[in-house]
Structure 1
Amino acid sequence: MTEAPLLDVENLWVKFHTRTGIVDAVRGISFTLGRERLGIVGESGSGKSMTGRAVLRLIHPPGQVTADKLQVHGEDVMTMPDARMRQLRGGRVSMVMQDPKFSLNPVMPVGQQLIEALRAHEKVSKAEARKRALDMLDEVAIRDPARVMDLYPHEVSGGMGQRIMIAMMLLPNPEILIADEPTSALDVSVQLQVLDIMDKLVKDRGMGLMFISHDLNLVAKFCDRIAVMYAGRIVETCKASELRNAQHPYTLGLLNSVPDLEHPRDRLEVLKRDPAWREAASVSART
Protein backbone atom coordinates (compact mmCIF):
# COMPACT_ATOMS: atom_id res chain seq x y z
CA MET A 1 0.00 0.00 0.00
CA THR A 2 1.43 3.38 -1.04
CA GLU A 3 1.80 5.88 1.81
CA ALA A 4 -0.19 9.09 1.42
CA PRO A 5 1.98 12.17 0.75
CA LEU A 6 2.91 14.42 3.65
CA LEU A 7 2.12 17.45 1.49
CA ASP A 8 -0.34 17.48 -1.42
CA VAL A 9 -0.69 20.64 -3.54
CA GLU A 10 -2.99 21.10 -6.54
CA ASN A 11 -3.40 24.25 -8.64
CA LEU A 12 -1.76 26.64 -6.18
CA TRP A 13 -1.88 30.34 -7.08
CA VAL A 14 -0.32 33.30 -5.28
CA LYS A 15 -1.52 36.69 -6.48
CA PHE A 16 -0.63 40.22 -5.42
CA HIS A 17 -3.10 43.02 -6.00
CA THR A 18 -1.12 46.18 -6.82
CA ARG A 19 -1.92 49.67 -8.10
CA THR A 20 -0.90 48.63 -11.60
CA GLY A 21 -2.82 45.35 -11.64
CA ILE A 22 -2.59 41.76 -10.46
CA VAL A 23 0.84 40.11 -10.25
CA ASP A 24 0.83 36.30 -10.42
CA ALA A 25 3.80 35.15 -8.33
CA VAL A 26 2.84 31.46 -8.41
CA ARG A 27 0.69 30.22 -11.28
CA GLY A 28 -1.28 27.02 -10.80
CA ILE A 29 1.43 24.63 -9.62
CA SER A 30 0.84 21.08 -8.39
CA PHE A 31 3.21 18.70 -6.57
CA THR A 32 3.43 16.22 -3.72
CA LEU A 33 6.04 15.66 -1.02
CA GLY A 34 6.63 12.34 0.70
CA ARG A 35 9.37 11.25 3.07
CA GLU A 36 12.02 12.45 0.65
CA ARG A 37 14.14 15.42 -0.42
CA LEU A 38 12.35 17.49 -3.05
CA GLY A 39 14.43 20.23 -4.65
CA ILE A 40 12.67 23.37 -5.91
CA VAL A 41 15.05 25.19 -8.24
CA GLY A 42 14.80 28.30 -10.41
CA GLU A 43 16.02 31.86 -10.81
CA SER A 44 15.15 34.76 -8.51
CA GLY A 45 11.49 35.73 -8.87
CA SER A 46 10.38 32.34 -10.18
CA GLY A 47 8.10 31.73 -7.17
CA LYS A 48 10.16 29.28 -5.09
CA SER A 49 10.02 31.10 -1.75
CA MET A 50 6.41 32.16 -2.34
CA THR A 51 5.50 28.48 -2.70
CA GLY A 52 7.07 27.64 0.65
CA ARG A 53 5.40 30.57 2.38
CA ALA A 54 2.03 29.74 0.84
CA VAL A 55 2.16 26.23 2.32
CA LEU A 56 2.41 27.82 5.79
CA ARG A 57 -0.11 30.59 5.01
CA LEU A 58 2.55 33.25 5.46
CA ILE A 59 1.35 35.35 2.51
CA HIS A 60 -0.31 38.50 3.83
CA PRO A 61 -2.40 41.16 2.03
CA PRO A 62 -2.17 42.40 -0.65
CA GLY A 63 -1.18 38.80 -1.37
CA GLN A 64 -3.88 36.18 -2.00
CA VAL A 65 -3.48 32.39 -2.00
CA THR A 66 -5.90 30.00 -3.70
CA ALA A 67 -5.64 26.27 -4.36
CA ASP A 68 -7.84 23.35 -5.35
CA LYS A 69 -5.98 21.34 -2.72
CA LEU A 70 -3.41 22.27 -0.09
CA GLN A 71 -3.20 19.48 2.46
CA VAL A 72 -0.68 18.48 5.11
CA HIS A 73 -1.18 14.82 5.99
CA GLY A 74 -4.78 15.05 4.86
CA GLU A 75 -5.60 18.27 6.74
CA ASP A 76 -6.88 21.15 4.61
CA VAL A 77 -4.58 24.13 5.17
CA MET A 78 -6.82 26.54 3.25
CA THR A 79 -9.79 26.14 5.61
CA MET A 80 -7.82 25.47 8.79
CA PRO A 81 -8.75 27.73 11.77
CA ASP A 82 -6.04 30.18 12.86
CA ALA A 83 -5.50 28.41 16.20
CA ARG A 84 -4.90 25.07 14.46
CA MET A 85 -2.70 26.78 11.87
CA ARG A 86 -0.45 28.12 14.64
CA GLN A 87 -0.06 24.58 15.94
CA LEU A 88 0.77 23.27 12.46
CA ARG A 89 3.18 26.09 11.65
CA GLY A 90 6.42 25.32 13.44
CA GLY A 91 4.96 22.11 14.83
CA ARG A 92 4.26 19.65 12.02
CA VAL A 93 5.71 21.92 9.34
CA SER A 94 8.78 24.12 9.90
CA MET A 95 10.56 26.58 7.61
CA VAL A 96 14.19 27.65 7.74
CA MET A 97 14.51 31.11 6.23
CA GLN A 98 17.38 32.15 4.00
CA ASP A 99 19.36 34.41 6.37
CA PRO A 100 19.51 33.45 10.07
CA LYS A 101 20.64 36.94 11.04
CA PHE A 102 17.18 38.22 10.12
CA SER A 103 15.31 35.23 11.58
CA LEU A 104 16.81 35.25 15.07
CA ASN A 105 15.80 37.91 17.58
CA PRO A 106 18.90 40.13 18.06
CA VAL A 107 18.08 41.05 21.68
CA MET A 108 17.49 37.53 23.03
CA PRO A 109 20.09 34.84 23.79
CA VAL A 110 20.03 31.87 21.43
CA GLY A 111 19.03 29.48 24.21
CA GLN A 112 15.99 31.52 25.23
CA GLN A 113 14.76 31.52 21.63
CA LEU A 114 15.19 27.75 21.33
CA ILE A 115 13.33 27.15 24.58
CA GLU A 116 10.45 29.45 23.58
CA ALA A 117 10.15 27.77 20.18
CA LEU A 118 9.70 24.36 21.82
CA ARG A 119 7.35 25.51 24.61
CA ALA A 120 5.12 27.23 22.05
CA HIS A 121 4.19 23.80 20.72
CA GLU A 122 4.66 21.42 23.64
CA LYS A 123 3.78 21.61 27.33
CA VAL A 124 7.21 21.02 28.84
CA SER A 125 9.07 22.63 31.71
CA LYS A 126 11.87 25.11 31.11
CA ALA A 127 14.36 22.56 32.42
CA GLU A 128 13.16 19.87 30.01
CA ALA A 129 13.06 22.38 27.12
CA ARG A 130 16.62 23.47 27.90
CA LYS A 131 17.82 19.85 27.95
CA ARG A 132 16.18 19.13 24.60
CA ALA A 133 17.60 22.35 23.14
CA LEU A 134 21.11 21.34 24.24
CA ASP A 135 20.64 17.89 22.72
CA MET A 136 19.41 19.39 19.44
CA LEU A 137 22.35 21.80 19.22
CA ASP A 138 24.64 18.81 19.68
CA GLU A 139 22.73 16.94 16.96
CA VAL A 140 23.38 19.76 14.46
CA ALA A 141 27.11 19.56 15.22
CA ILE A 142 27.52 22.68 17.37
CA ARG A 143 30.43 22.40 19.77
CA ASP A 144 29.91 23.34 23.42
CA PRO A 145 26.11 23.81 23.20
CA ALA A 146 25.91 25.13 26.79
CA ARG A 147 28.15 28.07 25.88
CA VAL A 148 26.27 28.76 22.61
CA MET A 149 22.94 28.85 24.49
CA ASP A 150 24.09 32.03 26.26
CA LEU A 151 25.29 33.81 23.10
CA TYR A 152 23.38 36.48 21.19
CA PRO A 153 22.84 36.13 17.42
CA HIS A 154 25.51 38.73 16.57
CA GLU A 155 28.06 36.61 18.45
CA VAL A 156 27.73 33.56 16.20
CA SER A 157 29.01 32.99 12.66
CA GLY A 158 26.76 32.62 9.62
CA GLY A 159 27.21 28.86 9.53
CA MET A 160 26.50 28.48 13.24
CA GLY A 161 23.49 30.78 12.95
CA GLN A 162 22.09 28.59 10.18
CA ARG A 163 22.58 25.45 12.28
CA ILE A 164 20.88 27.15 15.23
CA MET A 165 17.89 27.95 13.02
CA ILE A 166 17.75 24.34 11.82
CA ALA A 167 17.87 23.17 15.45
CA MET A 168 15.06 25.58 16.41
CA MET A 169 12.82 24.39 13.57
CA LEU A 170 13.47 20.71 14.34
CA LEU A 171 12.90 20.87 18.11
CA PRO A 172 9.11 20.17 17.88
CA ASN A 173 9.83 17.13 15.63
CA PRO A 174 8.13 18.36 12.43
CA GLU A 175 7.13 15.99 9.64
CA ILE A 176 8.00 18.54 6.94
CA LEU A 177 10.94 20.92 6.78
CA ILE A 178 10.98 23.73 4.20
CA ALA A 179 14.53 25.01 3.74
CA ASP A 180 14.68 28.29 1.80
CA GLU A 181 18.21 28.51 0.37
CA PRO A 182 19.78 27.42 3.68
CA THR A 183 23.33 27.35 2.26
CA SER A 184 23.38 30.36 -0.09
CA ALA A 185 25.22 32.70 2.33
CA LEU A 186 27.75 30.10 3.49
CA ASP A 187 31.20 29.16 2.24
CA VAL A 188 31.66 25.79 0.56
CA SER A 189 33.02 23.88 3.59
CA VAL A 190 30.18 25.09 5.85
CA GLN A 191 27.65 24.35 3.08
CA LEU A 192 28.74 20.71 3.10
CA GLN A 193 28.43 20.54 6.88
CA VAL A 194 24.89 21.92 6.81
CA LEU A 195 23.87 19.58 3.97
CA ASP A 196 25.30 16.56 5.82
CA ILE A 197 23.33 17.53 8.93
CA MET A 198 20.08 17.93 6.98
CA ASP A 199 20.64 14.68 5.10
CA LYS A 200 21.20 12.77 8.35
CA LEU A 201 18.17 14.31 10.04
CA VAL A 202 15.87 13.53 7.10
CA LYS A 203 17.04 9.91 7.00
CA ASP A 204 16.94 9.37 10.77
CA ARG A 205 13.58 11.09 11.33
CA GLY A 206 11.83 10.11 8.10
CA MET A 207 10.88 13.71 7.35
CA GLY A 208 9.90 15.32 4.08
CA LEU A 209 12.29 18.08 2.98
CA MET A 210 11.45 20.84 0.50
CA PHE A 211 14.86 22.25 -0.44
CA ILE A 212 14.66 25.63 -2.23
CA SER A 213 17.77 26.70 -4.13
CA HIS A 214 19.25 28.55 -7.11
CA ASP A 215 21.99 25.93 -7.46
CA LEU A 216 20.87 23.26 -9.93
CA ASN A 217 24.00 21.13 -9.48
CA LEU A 218 23.70 21.20 -5.70
CA VAL A 219 20.03 20.19 -5.84
CA ALA A 220 20.81 17.40 -8.34
CA LYS A 221 23.40 15.90 -6.00
CA PHE A 222 21.50 16.37 -2.73
CA CYS A 223 17.81 15.78 -3.54
CA ASP A 224 15.78 12.76 -4.64
CA ARG A 225 13.43 14.66 -6.98
CA ILE A 226 13.62 18.08 -8.65
CA ALA A 227 10.94 20.56 -9.64
CA VAL A 228 12.15 23.37 -11.94
CA MET A 229 10.25 26.66 -11.65
CA TYR A 230 10.09 29.44 -14.22
CA ALA A 231 7.85 32.53 -14.14
CA GLY A 232 5.70 31.14 -11.34
CA ARG A 233 5.18 27.69 -12.85
CA ILE A 234 6.70 24.27 -12.43
CA VAL A 235 7.86 23.62 -15.97
CA GLU A 236 9.51 20.26 -15.35
CA THR A 237 9.78 17.60 -12.66
CA CYS A 238 12.05 14.58 -12.66
CA LYS A 239 14.17 12.30 -10.53
CA ALA A 240 17.49 13.94 -9.67
CA SER A 241 19.30 11.06 -11.37
CA GLU A 242 17.44 11.83 -14.62
CA LEU A 243 18.11 15.56 -14.72
CA ARG A 244 20.45 15.20 -17.72
CA ASN A 245 17.47 13.91 -19.69
CA ALA A 246 15.54 17.16 -19.19
CA GLN A 247 13.17 18.20 -21.98
CA HIS A 248 12.07 21.76 -21.21
CA PRO A 249 14.18 24.48 -22.91
CA TYR A 250 14.54 26.44 -19.66
CA THR A 251 15.96 23.41 -17.79
CA LEU A 252 18.28 22.70 -20.71
CA GLY A 253 19.38 26.32 -20.66
CA LEU A 254 20.20 26.12 -16.96
CA LEU A 255 22.22 22.95 -17.50
CA ASN A 256 24.12 24.38 -20.46
CA SER A 257 24.97 27.61 -18.63
CA VAL A 258 26.97 25.78 -15.94
CA PRO A 259 30.78 25.81 -16.49
CA ASP A 260 32.34 22.40 -17.09
CA LEU A 261 35.95 22.27 -15.89
CA GLU A 262 36.63 18.96 -17.65
CA HIS A 263 35.30 20.16 -21.00
CA PRO A 264 35.74 23.95 -21.04
CA ARG A 265 33.83 25.99 -23.60
CA ASP A 266 34.75 29.29 -25.16
CA ARG A 267 31.33 30.67 -24.31
CA LEU A 268 28.61 29.74 -21.87
CA GLU A 269 25.06 29.60 -23.13
CA VAL A 270 22.94 32.64 -22.34
CA LEU A 271 19.36 32.03 -21.24
CA LYS A 272 17.00 33.74 -23.66
CA ARG A 273 13.87 35.32 -22.23
CA ASP A 274 11.42 33.57 -24.50
CA PRO A 275 7.84 34.62 -23.58
CA ALA A 276 6.60 31.36 -25.05
CA TRP A 277 8.20 29.50 -22.16
CA ARG A 278 5.80 31.17 -19.76
CA GLU A 279 2.81 29.65 -21.49
CA ALA A 280 4.40 26.30 -22.27
CA ALA A 281 2.65 23.31 -20.77
CA SER A 282 4.54 21.69 -17.93
CA VAL A 283 6.46 18.57 -18.84
CA SER A 284 4.84 15.55 -17.19
CA ALA A 285 6.64 14.14 -14.17
CA ARG A 286 8.79 11.13 -14.99
CA THR A 287 8.75 9.70 -11.50
Structure 2
Amino acid sequence: MSTLLHVENLRVSFPTRTGVVEAVRGVSFALGQERLGIVGESGSGKSQTGRAIMGLTPQQAEIGARRLEFSGIDLLKASVSERRALRGNRIAMILQDPKYSLDPVMTIGRQIVETLRTHEKVSKSAARERALDMLAAVQIRDPKRVYDLYPHEVSGGMGQRAMIAMMLIAGPELLIADEPTSALDVTVQLDILRILDRLVIDRGMGLIFISHDLRLVSTFCDRVIVMYAGKIVEELKASELSQAKHPYTQGLLNCMPKIGADRHPLPVLDRKPEWLL
Protein backbone atom coordinates (compact mmCIF):
# COMPACT_ATOMS: atom_id res chain seq x y z
CA MET A 1 0.00 0.00 0.00
CA SER A 2 1.56 3.29 -1.13
CA THR A 3 1.60 6.25 1.24
CA LEU A 4 -0.40 9.28 0.08
CA LEU A 5 0.17 11.59 3.02
CA HIS A 6 3.01 12.12 5.49
CA VAL A 7 2.43 14.26 8.57
CA GLU A 8 5.31 14.69 11.02
CA ASN A 9 5.28 16.94 14.08
CA LEU A 10 2.43 19.13 12.82
CA ARG A 11 1.77 22.19 14.98
CA VAL A 12 -1.03 24.74 14.66
CA SER A 13 -1.28 27.72 17.02
CA PHE A 14 -3.39 30.87 17.22
CA PRO A 15 -2.14 34.13 18.76
CA THR A 16 -4.69 35.75 21.07
CA ARG A 17 -4.77 38.73 23.46
CA THR A 18 -4.08 36.44 26.38
CA GLY A 19 -1.35 34.42 24.71
CA VAL A 20 -0.81 31.70 22.12
CA VAL A 21 -3.34 28.87 21.91
CA GLU A 22 -1.77 25.63 20.68
CA ALA A 23 -4.55 23.79 18.86
CA VAL A 24 -2.35 21.01 17.41
CA ARG A 25 0.81 19.98 19.22
CA GLY A 26 3.18 17.64 17.40
CA VAL A 27 0.79 15.37 15.48
CA SER A 28 2.39 12.67 13.30
CA PHE A 29 0.86 9.96 11.12
CA ALA A 30 0.95 8.50 7.61
CA LEU A 31 -1.99 7.61 5.38
CA GLY A 32 -2.28 5.16 2.51
CA GLN A 33 -5.31 3.89 0.58
CA GLU A 34 -7.24 3.21 3.77
CA ARG A 35 -9.77 4.61 6.21
CA LEU A 36 -8.09 6.43 9.09
CA GLY A 37 -10.29 7.61 11.94
CA ILE A 38 -9.33 10.60 14.08
CA VAL A 39 -11.43 10.72 17.22
CA GLY A 40 -11.54 13.02 20.22
CA GLU A 41 -13.74 15.41 22.12
CA SER A 42 -14.51 18.93 20.92
CA GLY A 43 -11.37 21.09 21.02
CA SER A 44 -8.98 18.15 20.76
CA GLY A 45 -7.46 19.48 17.53
CA LYS A 46 -8.82 16.88 15.11
CA SER A 47 -10.60 19.35 12.81
CA GLN A 48 -7.66 21.77 12.84
CA THR A 49 -5.44 18.90 11.75
CA GLY A 50 -7.67 18.29 8.74
CA ARG A 51 -7.87 22.00 7.89
CA ALA A 52 -4.08 22.35 8.07
CA ILE A 53 -3.72 19.53 5.53
CA MET A 54 -6.28 21.22 3.27
CA GLY A 55 -4.71 24.66 3.67
CA LEU A 56 -7.91 26.09 5.14
CA THR A 57 -6.47 27.34 8.42
CA PRO A 58 -7.17 31.05 9.12
CA GLN A 59 -4.42 33.44 8.07
CA GLN A 60 -3.58 34.47 11.62
CA ALA A 61 -2.69 30.90 12.54
CA GLU A 62 0.91 29.73 12.72
CA ILE A 63 1.52 26.34 11.09
CA GLY A 64 4.72 24.34 11.30
CA ALA A 65 5.77 20.75 10.69
CA ARG A 66 8.88 18.67 10.19
CA ARG A 67 7.07 17.17 7.19
CA LEU A 68 3.67 17.80 5.62
CA GLU A 69 3.73 16.07 2.27
CA PHE A 70 1.00 14.84 -0.07
CA SER A 71 1.98 12.55 -2.96
CA GLY A 72 5.49 14.02 -3.06
CA ILE A 73 4.29 17.65 -2.77
CA ASP A 74 5.56 19.70 0.17
CA LEU A 75 2.36 21.39 1.34
CA LEU A 76 4.21 23.89 3.53
CA LYS A 77 6.29 25.18 0.62
CA ALA A 78 3.51 25.05 -1.99
CA SER A 79 2.32 28.43 -3.25
CA VAL A 80 -1.22 29.72 -2.79
CA SER A 81 -2.06 28.86 -6.41
CA GLU A 82 -0.62 25.34 -6.03
CA ARG A 83 -2.67 24.71 -2.89
CA ARG A 84 -5.78 26.05 -4.61
CA ALA A 85 -5.20 23.68 -7.53
CA LEU A 86 -4.95 20.73 -5.12
CA ARG A 87 -8.11 21.57 -3.15
CA GLY A 88 -11.21 20.03 -4.64
CA ASN A 89 -9.12 18.28 -7.27
CA ARG A 90 -6.66 15.89 -5.60
CA ILE A 91 -7.61 16.63 -1.98
CA ALA A 92 -11.23 17.24 -0.94
CA MET A 93 -12.97 17.87 2.36
CA ILE A 94 -16.55 17.14 3.39
CA LEU A 95 -17.72 19.50 6.12
CA GLN A 96 -20.10 18.73 8.93
CA ASP A 97 -23.38 20.36 7.94
CA PRO A 98 -24.49 20.93 4.32
CA LYS A 99 -26.69 23.85 5.43
CA TYR A 100 -23.53 25.90 6.03
CA SER A 101 -21.40 24.44 3.23
CA LEU A 102 -23.65 24.64 0.18
CA ASP A 103 -24.33 28.03 -1.44
CA PRO A 104 -28.01 28.83 -0.71
CA VAL A 105 -28.49 30.92 -3.89
CA MET A 106 -27.12 28.34 -6.34
CA THR A 107 -28.79 25.11 -7.42
CA ILE A 108 -27.11 21.89 -6.37
CA GLY A 109 -26.32 20.96 -9.96
CA ARG A 110 -24.73 24.31 -10.72
CA GLN A 111 -22.46 24.02 -7.67
CA ILE A 112 -21.28 20.55 -8.69
CA VAL A 113 -20.67 21.65 -12.28
CA GLU A 114 -18.75 24.72 -11.10
CA THR A 115 -16.46 22.52 -9.00
CA LEU A 116 -15.74 20.24 -11.95
CA ARG A 117 -15.14 23.03 -14.49
CA THR A 118 -12.80 24.81 -12.06
CA HIS A 119 -10.39 21.88 -12.28
CA GLU A 120 -11.10 20.36 -15.70
CA LYS A 121 -11.73 21.76 -19.17
CA VAL A 122 -15.09 20.22 -20.03
CA SER A 123 -18.14 21.57 -21.84
CA LYS A 124 -21.28 22.53 -19.94
CA SER A 125 -23.21 19.59 -21.35
CA ALA A 126 -20.46 17.10 -20.47
CA ALA A 127 -20.15 18.59 -16.99
CA ARG A 128 -23.91 18.28 -16.49
CA GLU A 129 -23.85 14.59 -17.45
CA ARG A 130 -20.97 13.89 -15.10
CA ALA A 131 -22.75 15.74 -12.30
CA LEU A 132 -25.89 13.66 -12.86
CA ASP A 133 -23.80 10.48 -12.84
CA MET A 134 -22.15 11.53 -9.58
CA LEU A 135 -25.51 12.30 -7.95
CA ALA A 136 -26.62 8.81 -8.94
CA ALA A 137 -23.37 7.36 -7.54
CA VAL A 138 -24.18 8.79 -4.10
CA GLN A 139 -27.58 7.05 -4.23
CA ILE A 140 -29.83 9.99 -5.09
CA ARG A 141 -32.83 8.36 -6.76
CA ASP A 142 -33.90 11.19 -9.06
CA PRO A 143 -30.69 13.03 -10.02
CA LYS A 144 -32.33 15.24 -12.67
CA ARG A 145 -34.84 16.60 -10.19
CA VAL A 146 -32.29 17.16 -7.42
CA TYR A 147 -29.89 18.78 -9.91
CA ASP A 148 -32.27 21.77 -10.26
CA LEU A 149 -33.13 22.12 -6.56
CA TYR A 150 -31.69 24.65 -4.11
CA PRO A 151 -30.06 23.43 -0.87
CA HIS A 152 -33.03 24.53 1.28
CA GLU A 153 -35.33 22.32 -0.82
CA VAL A 154 -33.64 19.05 0.14
CA SER A 155 -33.36 17.10 3.39
CA GLY A 156 -30.21 17.02 5.50
CA GLY A 157 -29.30 13.55 4.26
CA MET A 158 -29.77 14.46 0.61
CA GLY A 159 -27.84 17.71 1.13
CA GLN A 160 -24.95 15.74 2.59
CA ARG A 161 -25.01 13.35 -0.37
CA ALA A 162 -24.95 16.34 -2.72
CA MET A 163 -21.96 17.71 -0.80
CA ILE A 164 -20.17 14.36 -1.16
CA ALA A 165 -20.93 14.37 -4.90
CA MET A 166 -19.48 17.88 -5.21
CA MET A 167 -16.30 16.90 -3.36
CA LEU A 168 -15.82 13.73 -5.42
CA ILE A 169 -16.68 15.01 -8.89
CA ALA A 170 -13.03 15.79 -9.73
CA GLY A 171 -11.82 12.37 -8.51
CA PRO A 172 -9.65 13.25 -5.47
CA GLU A 173 -6.99 10.89 -4.16
CA LEU A 174 -7.48 11.99 -0.54
CA LEU A 175 -10.81 12.73 1.12
CA ILE A 176 -11.10 14.36 4.56
CA ALA A 177 -14.54 13.90 6.10
CA ASP A 178 -15.07 16.17 9.12
CA GLU A 179 -18.04 14.89 11.15
CA PRO A 180 -19.95 14.08 7.92
CA THR A 181 -22.77 12.22 9.68
CA SER A 182 -23.20 14.00 13.03
CA ALA A 183 -26.17 16.10 11.83
CA LEU A 184 -27.98 13.09 10.35
CA ASP A 185 -30.26 10.44 11.79
CA VAL A 186 -28.97 6.89 12.25
CA THR A 187 -30.42 5.35 9.08
CA VAL A 188 -29.03 8.15 6.89
CA GLN A 189 -25.68 7.86 8.69
CA LEU A 190 -25.42 4.24 7.57
CA ASP A 191 -26.21 5.19 3.96
CA ILE A 192 -23.48 7.85 3.95
CA LEU A 193 -20.94 5.44 5.45
CA ARG A 194 -21.77 2.80 2.82
CA ILE A 195 -21.20 5.40 0.08
CA LEU A 196 -17.82 6.45 1.52
CA ASP A 197 -16.81 2.82 2.06
CA ARG A 198 -17.61 1.88 -1.55
CA LEU A 199 -15.78 4.92 -2.93
CA VAL A 200 -12.62 4.15 -0.94
CA ILE A 201 -12.65 0.56 -2.23
CA ASP A 202 -13.61 1.33 -5.84
CA ARG A 203 -11.44 4.44 -6.32
CA GLY A 204 -8.53 3.50 -4.07
CA MET A 205 -8.79 6.77 -2.13
CA GLY A 206 -7.29 7.59 1.21
CA LEU A 207 -9.91 8.68 3.75
CA ILE A 208 -9.46 10.65 6.97
CA PHE A 209 -12.68 10.29 8.96
CA ILE A 210 -12.90 12.86 11.77
CA SER A 211 -15.46 12.19 14.49
CA HIS A 212 -16.22 12.34 18.20
CA ASP A 213 -18.16 9.06 17.94
CA LEU A 214 -15.75 6.32 18.98
CA ARG A 215 -18.22 3.50 18.24
CA LEU A 216 -18.82 4.76 14.71
CA VAL A 217 -15.11 5.13 13.99
CA SER A 218 -14.28 1.72 15.44
CA THR A 219 -16.73 -0.07 13.13
CA PHE A 220 -15.99 1.92 9.97
CA CYS A 221 -12.25 2.67 9.93
CA ASP A 222 -9.15 0.51 9.52
CA ARG A 223 -7.02 2.46 12.00
CA VAL A 224 -7.89 4.90 14.77
CA ILE A 225 -5.98 7.89 16.13
CA VAL A 226 -7.16 9.25 19.48
CA MET A 227 -6.47 12.95 20.16
CA TYR A 228 -6.64 14.99 23.33
CA ALA A 229 -5.59 18.63 23.86
CA GLY A 230 -3.90 18.82 20.45
CA LYS A 231 -1.87 15.64 20.84
CA ILE A 232 -2.18 12.04 19.70
CA VAL A 233 -2.44 9.95 22.85
CA GLU A 234 -2.93 6.58 21.16
CA GLU A 235 -2.93 4.97 17.72
CA LEU A 236 -4.14 1.44 17.06
CA LYS A 237 -6.06 -0.80 14.70
CA ALA A 238 -9.82 -0.33 14.86
CA SER A 239 -10.24 -4.05 15.54
CA GLU A 240 -8.02 -3.70 18.63
CA LEU A 241 -9.78 -0.66 20.09
CA SER A 242 -11.21 -2.67 22.99
CA GLN A 243 -7.61 -3.40 24.04
CA ALA A 244 -6.66 0.28 24.28
CA LYS A 245 -4.15 1.01 27.04
CA HIS A 246 -4.25 4.79 27.35
CA PRO A 247 -6.49 6.06 30.19
CA TYR A 248 -8.15 8.68 27.96
CA THR A 249 -9.11 6.09 25.32
CA GLN A 250 -10.32 3.78 28.07
CA GLY A 251 -12.41 6.64 29.45
CA LEU A 252 -14.01 7.19 26.04
CA LEU A 253 -14.74 3.48 25.77
CA ASN A 254 -16.29 3.41 29.25
CA CYS A 255 -18.58 6.30 28.31
CA MET A 256 -20.12 4.29 25.47
CA PRO A 257 -23.49 2.78 26.46
CA LYS A 258 -23.46 -0.99 26.94
CA ILE A 259 -26.66 -3.00 26.64
CA GLY A 260 -27.10 -5.52 29.42
CA ALA A 261 -24.00 -4.43 31.30
CA ASP A 262 -23.17 -1.91 33.97
CA ARG A 263 -21.24 1.14 32.87
CA HIS A 264 -17.96 1.71 34.64
CA PRO A 265 -17.62 5.28 35.90
CA LEU A 266 -14.50 7.23 35.05
CA PRO A 267 -11.93 7.27 37.84
CA VAL A 268 -11.78 10.36 40.02
CA LEU A 269 -8.33 11.89 39.67
CA ASP A 270 -6.75 13.60 42.68
CA ARG A 271 -4.02 15.09 40.49
CA LYS A 272 -3.52 15.85 36.80
CA PRO A 273 -1.83 12.87 35.07
CA GLU A 274 1.24 13.40 32.92
CA TRP A 275 -0.59 12.74 29.64
CA LEU A 276 -2.79 15.80 30.24
CA LEU A 277 0.21 18.14 30.37
Question: TM-score, normalised on structure 2?
Answer: 0.97
**What is the DSSP-based 3-state SS (H/G/I as helix, E as strand, rest coil) of the residue aligned with 2:202?**
helix
Distance (whole Å) between structure 1 residues aligned to residue 168 and residue 110 of structure 2: 16
- Per-residue CA deviations over 1:155-205 (Å, capped at 9, x if unaligned) read 010000100000000000000000000000000000000001110111000
Question: TM-score, normalised on structure 1?
Answer: 0.93
**Of the candidates 129, 142, 145, which is equivalent to residue 144 of structure 1?**
142
Residues 26, 232 of structure 1: 8 Å contact kept = yes
**Of the candidates 50, 53, 64, which is equivalent to residue 51 of structure 2?**
53
**Of the candidates 257, 260, 263, which is equivalent to residue 259 of structure 1?**
257
**What is the DSSP-based 3-state SS (H/G/I as helix, E as strand, rest coil) of the residue aligned with 1:30?**
strand
Give, in angstroms, the shift of residue 57 of structure 1: 1.2
Residues 213, 219 of structure 1: 8 Å contact kept = yes
Where does structure 2 lack aligned partners over 5 or more consecutive residues?
Answer: none
Distance (whole Å) between structure 2 residues aligned to residue 220 and residue 156 of structure 1: 30
- Structure 1 position 179 matched with structure 2 position 166: no
Where does structure 1 lack aligned partners over 5 or more consecutive residues?
Answer: 280-287
Give, in angstroms, the shift of residue 68 of structure 1: 0.7
Letter in 2 for 1:153: P
Matches of residues 202-281 of structure 1 in structure 2 within 5 Å? 202-265=200-263, 268-269=265-266, 274=272, 276-279=274-277
Residues 109, 146 of structure 2: 8 Å contact kept = yes
**What is the DSSP-based 3-state SS (H/G/I as helix, E as strand, rest coil) of the residue aligned with 1:212?**
strand
Give, in angstroms, the shift of residue 270 of structure 1: 6.5
Structure 1 residue aligned with 2:127:
129
Give, in angstroms, the shift of residue 147 of structure 1: 0.4
Letter in 2 for 1:210: I
Letter in 1 for 2:29: F
Distance (whole Å) between structure 1 residues aligned to residue 107 and residue 37 of structure 2: 32
**Of the candidates 166, 170, 173, which is equivalent to residue 168 of structure 2?**
170
Structure 2 residue aligned with 1:282:
none
- Per-residue CA deviations over 1:82-127 (Å, capped at 9, x if unaligned) read 1111111111000000111100000011110000000011111111
**What is the DSSP-based 3-state SS (H/G/I as helix, E as strand, rest coil) of the residue aligned with 1:108?**
coil
Distance (whole Å) between structure 2 residues aligned to residue 200 and residue 151 of structure 1: 26
Identity %: 62
Residues 40, 211 of structure 2: 8 Å contact kept = yes
Distance (whole Å) between structure 1 residues aligned to residue 107 and residue 255 of structure 2: 43
**What is the DSSP-based 3-state SS (H/G/I as helix, E as strand, rest coil) of the residue aligned with 1:120?**
helix
Structure 1 residue aligned with 2:35:
37
**What is the DSSP-based 3-state SS (H/G/I as helix, E as strand, rest coil) of the residue aligned with 1:202?**
helix
Distance (whole Å) between structure 2 residues aligned to residue 111 and residue 230 of structure 1: 39
Distance (whole Å) between structure 2 residues aligned to residue 275 and residue 154 of structure 1: 47
Letter in 1 for 2:227: M
Give, in angstroms, the shift of residue 62 of structure 1: 1.9
Q: What is the number of equivalent residue pairs in this alignment?
A: 276
**What is the DSSP-based 3-state SS (H/G/I as helix, E as strand, rest coil) of the residue aligned with 1:166?**
helix
**What is the DSSP-based 3-state SS (H/G/I as helix, E as strand, rest coil) of the residue aligned with 1:28?**
strand
- Structure 1 position 192 matched with structure 2 position 203: no
- Per-residue CA deviations over 1:32-91 (Å, capped at 9, x if unaligned) read 110000000000000010000000111123211111100111110000011111111111
- Per-residue CA deviations over 1:228-279 (Å, capped at 9, x if unaligned) read 00000011000001111111110011111111112134x6436869352223
